[in-house]
Chains A and B, each alone.
Chain A
Amino acid sequence: MRTSKPCFACETGTVRGTNLRGRAFDYRDEVDLVFDEDVELPVCDACGEMPLNAAATKRLNDVLERLRAERKRSAVAQFIETIGREYPTIPRAAWEQALGLSPGYLSRLASGNRLADTSLEILLGGFAKDPGAVIELIEATGHMPKLLMTHLARAKRPRRGLTPA
């Protein structure tokens, strides 16, 4: 590929080799995945379009797929950390039942053997920020299993918001 060439997308810019580190991508079901490797790819200096051959696409793909997987695993990790901190007496199985997950699924998500789908990722991430809101949501939809209801009653922790400092 030539060093620089005209951009056919915006018809005004020039496509040049550009380091992608720091560029944010909305990729698949994730937003603002910040590129964290030094990878030089052809980029238009006006519109940001990237004309990619197979090798360049694979390079970009490898980084974005890794970032996407890390984002999803992070949501799971934050959820697990939150339930461990806020509701240490409630077994993980109770949460899995409430979320409609098979037993052990949270562990598989945490280990990276599976990736959470978008809606589950949103739910887990929301729980980490405001557990009470998600618990109320589950209650409102009528999906609160008796197991979790019993444990929450025993936990005697504030239902809404995180533990006060």
Chain B
Amino acid sequence: MFNHKCLVNGPKNGLTRLQRMAKTGCAVVHWERAIDPTSRRLGISATEAQHYALETVQRLVATDYVEPVQQRGVWFDIYALYRDRLGWFVKIGEDDDGLLVISHHEPEKGSLSTLPVSWSRWLSQLPRSNQLGERDENVQAVFCV
């Protein structure tokens, strides 16, 4: 049903956990690749752009997931979604300072493939605690075979 490659490339960070940090403001957002491009694209101030990026993180769902990427030994997850009729490329992770929003900008390298619909059905059938939520280690045990 699911090939090994798909399972290995699942999210490396618990989305619910990151969203909680976005909501509480325990977050760092990068200027060049997130705040500034958002500010220009929407014609808003830097502060508004940062809030917008953190709100985008809070709106992410499992089916927005694209793939993980490792940078300097830390795993980040890439998501893609439409918000306010615009496509957004979002790269998030976590370090000692909390949520890290590395990227929040217009997709730059063509279209992005998010989680297939068949996966969303599978995910929705998982026990609630396994849906990229609190007990993320169980999900990762499935994904990171």
Interface residues of A (CB under 8 A from B): 1-2, 5-9, 11, 27-29, 47-54, 57-58, 60-61, 64-65
Residues of B within 8 A of A8 (CB): 30, 71-72, 74, 76, 93, 100, 102
Tell me which of B47, B71, B96 contacts A2 (CB under 8 A).
Answer: B96
Query: Measured between C-beta atoms, what is the minimum distance from B39 to chain A in Å?
Result: 6
Tell me which of B30, B39, B47 contacts A9 (CB under 8 A).
Answer: B30
Tell me which of A6, A51, A64 contacts B46 (CB under 8 A).
Answer: A64
Distance, CA A11 to CA B36, complexed state (A): 20
Distance, CA A56 to CA B51, complexed state (A): 13
Q: Does B40 contact A (CB under 8 A)?
A: yes
Smallest CB-CB separation from A41: which chain B residue? B31
Within 8 A of A (CB), among B60-102: 71-72, 74, 76, 93, 95-97, 100, 102
A-B contacts, CB under 8 A, total = 73
Query: Measured between C-beta atoms, what is the minimum distance from A115 to chain B in Å?
Result: 12
Residues of B within 8 A of A60 (CB): 31, 46
Query: Measured between C-beta atoms, what is the minimum distance from B46 to chain A in Å?
Result: 4
Residues of B within 8 A of A1 (CB): 28, 97
**Interface pair B30/A57, CB less than 8 Å apart:** no
Residues of B within 8 A of A6 (CB): 72
Known: A8-B102, A50-B31, A57-B50. Is A28-B39 also a contact (CB below 8 A)?
A: yes
Distance, CA A58 to CA B31, complexed state (A): 12
**Interface pair A57/B93, CB less than 8 Å apart:** no
Query: Measured between C-beta atoms, what is the minimum distance from B76 to chain A in Å?
Result: 7
Query: Measured between C-beta atoms, what is the minimum distance from A156 to chain B in Å?
Result: 43
Query: Measured between C-beta atoms, what is the minimum distance from B133 to chain A in Å?
Result: 25
Residues of B within 8 A of A7 (CB): 72
Residues of B within 8 A of A11 (CB): 71-72
**Interface pair A27/B93, CB less than 8 Å apart:** no
Known: A8-B72, A8-B102. Is A49-B31 also a contact (CB below 8 A)?
A: yes
**Interface pair A51/B29, CB less than 8 Å apart:** yes
Tell me which of A29, A47, A54, A61 contacts B32 (CB under 8 A).
Answer: A47
Chain A to chain B: the 6 pairs with minimum beta-carbon distance, closest first = A61-B46, A50-B31, A61-B47, A51-B28, A57-B50, A49-B32
Distance, CA A161 to CA B43, complexed state (A): 34
- 9 A-B pairs within 8 Å (CB atoms) are namely A1-B97, A8-B72, A8-B102, A48-B32, A49-B32, A51-B97, A52-B30, A54-B50, A57-B50
